[in-house]
Amino acid sequence: MRRQRLLPMTAGLSVVAGLALLHTVGAPRDVSALVGAMLVGLVYSTAVTVWQISIHNSAAGTTAMTLILVFGPTMVLSPAGAAAIGWSRLALKAHTPAQVLAGTALGGAAALAFALLR
């Protein structure tokens, strides 16, 4: 399973190019922070690929946290999207509940860290 995950995650590091492009065109800091947080998610998910943290929920957690931080309490429904993605990962038996929760928590934490650094 580790081998199956490594190639897509390595290819996903093209996010670095996207981040550089966002910087070049002067994208808003919040957008760059979101992409930066997703890059962090790819790196730590690759590092702990033996345990198979849900990369889907890492991205969903990052997005949900960023929406809440940028747009405020009006985006409180954004975690519902992360929950739906988590449910799908469990229904497909692709991850355990702990792997889904870990991915969501780490994604949210990465977004929060980038928001605090901006």
Q: What is the pLDDT of residues 82-108, one digit of tens each?
A: 888 899 999 999 899 999 998 888 888
pLDDT 10s digits, 9-25: 665 667 778 888 888 99
pTM recorded for the entire structure: 0.67
Name residues whose C-beta falls within 8 Å of residue 92's C-beta, 6 or more positions apart in sequence: none
87, amino acid identity: W
Q: Where are the domains of the chain?
A: 2-117
Q: What DSSP state is assigned to residue 17?
A: H
* Four-residue CA torsion sign, 20, 26, 29, 34: negative
Between CA 58 and CA 60 the distance in angstroms is 5
